[in-house]
Structure 1
């Protein structure tokens, strides 16, 4: 059965500067709302290299010293798909923000105000976990028929 499963891997990088984080206000396709920069990992690049590349492409910043915070995933048993997101945090970056990035407007947002913005539910679920000690694993089981999450499991270590 595992040979029939479609796997897709993304990265998300929470970039912190003091009491603020960098978020994209993404308004295209089905992933709308404020979210950290990130994107698909190209084969055969490493997860960290993919994360660094995505931040550079989406923001113009060069990030370093990424801290692995956890894995979040969507599992859709009805269509044999598993979407895996590698989540990182950093406070180390150089460069200037892009003026007109293609993925959405860039905003430095106060951490304690960020979840008040329009944000995808899965980003809200893991947002605070980026700033806690340890790592996390979040699994969301998708209900294809109802087109919504069926169950969400959160484990912290």
Structure 2
């Protein structure tokens, strides 16, 4: 007998301009730090459509020619939850940056300097893979009893 699994889908789109990337300086709620644009996939849009929409909403830029870089997922066996984040990279965009968005202030940051910025563990863990050849899959198993990350599996292709 199979159990119902609760699936939730998000996207992240790293926007690159030469040696810089676009990040949001997010300083509200419990997810403070620098993050790439992204968010929840709204049914019935595609993952790419969601990534394009989220970048537009959060930065003001219109992106195109997204390259799939990999999956990042959290699984919580105790709750039958699976959260999957589709990760993209693009170097193609038009438009002007917003001064500020609900998610934070959009800022261009040199890639080499971005490694030293405060970021959520999940962003820091996958950050280098956006700039390498191939794709990645990172699975984090949530330890429900300890309310923290448990086993982390990283695969690169």
> Is 2:152 the partner of 1:152?
yes
Superposition pairs of residues 51-70 of structure 1, within 5 angstroms = 51-70=51-70
Q: Secondary structure at the match of 2:115?
A: helix
Hey, what's the Cα distance between the residues in 2 that align with 1:20 and 1:50?
23
Q: Deviations over 1:75-108 (max 9, x none)?
A: 0111111110000000000000111211101111
Hey, what's the Cα distance between the residues in 1 that align with 2:42 and 2:124?
26
How many angstroms does 1:2 deviate by?
A: 5.3
Superposition pairs of residues 61-140 of structure 1, within 5 angstroms = 61-140=61-140
With the length of structure 1 as denominator, give the TM-score of the two structures. Answer: 0.96
Q: Secondary structure at the match of 2:141?
A: strand
List alignment gaps of at least 5 residues for structure 2: none
List alignment gaps of at least 5 residues for structure 1: none
Q: How many residues align?
A: 157
Match of 2:143 in 1: 143
Hey, what's the Cα distance between the residues in 1 that align with 2:6 and 2:44?
16
With the length of structure 2 as denominator, give the TM-score of the two structures. Answer: 0.96
